Structure 1
Amino acid sequence: MTLKELQKTVDAWIQTHGVRYFNELTNMAILMEEVGELARVMARLYGEQSFKAGEEPNLAEEMADVLFVLTCLANQTGVDLEEAMQRSLEKKTQRDKERHKNNPKLKD
């Protein structure tokens, strides 16, 4: 699925099942909530925290939740994620093409 297809799919889901988009500020708050849930799983999988009894790791689900809400915000604000991602990668390539290769902290 391309990012354009993702945006169309999320929009169709909202129109069919979600009734309408929450307003942008509400979706921004929901995005922060979802990022927090992702951070919680990451802290338990890769950090020092442990899962509670009966708690299951759901990393993929939490990442998908973040992507869903971010896609809603892109749809609401007229951002073409595919185009924006391409521009971002081009910017990073120009800015950082040698930076990370020359970073002694990243050497084995």
Structure 2
Amino acid sequence: MTIEEAQKEVDQWINTYGVRYFNELTNMTILTEEVGELARVMARKYGDQSFKEGEKDNIADELTDILWVLLCIANQTGVDLTKSFKDNLVKKTQRDNKRHISNHKLNSNKDEQ
């Protein structure tokens, strides 16, 4: 599925089952909440915290929840994420094409840091 197809699928789902989009501010708040849920799982899986009883490692589901809300926000604000992503990739490539390669922190052995 392409990004364009995903945007269309979300729009179709919203218009069929969701009645309407939540307003932009509500979706921004939901996005923040979903990122927090991902952060909780990451802290337990990769950080020093442990999972509480009943919690599970559901990184894929949390990432997909974030993607869903991002697609909603893009749809309701008229952003073509396919075009925007391509433009952003060009921007990053032009800006950072030597930056990371010449970063000694990224290229040195971790034991030397």
> SS of 2:49's equivalent?
coil
Number of aligned positions between the proteins: 108
**CA–CA distance in 2 between the matches of 1:10 and 1:77?**
14
For residues 26-66 of structure 1, give each alpha carbon's deviation from its aligned partner in whole angstroms, at most 9, with x where no partner exists. 00000000000011111111111110123211000000000
Q: Which residue of 2 aligns with 1:93?
A: 93
Question: Runs of 5+ in structure 2 lacking a partner?
Answer: none
Among the aligned pairs, what percent are the same residue? 66
**CA–CA distance in 2 between the matches of 1:54 and 1:5?**
35
Matched, 1:44 2:77: no
**CA–CA distance in 2 between the matches of 1:51 and 1:3?**
33
TM norm structure 1: 0.98
RMSD of equivalent CA atoms: 0.6
Runs of 4+ in 1 over 6 A off after TM superposition: none
Q: Which residue of 2 aligns with 1:55?
A: 55
Q: Which has the higher contact order (CA 8 A, sep 6+)?
A: 1
TM norm structure 2: 0.93
**CA–CA distance in 2 between the matches of 1:100 and 1:40?**
29
Higher CA-based Rg: 2
Question: Runs of 5+ in structure 1 lacking a partner?
Answer: none
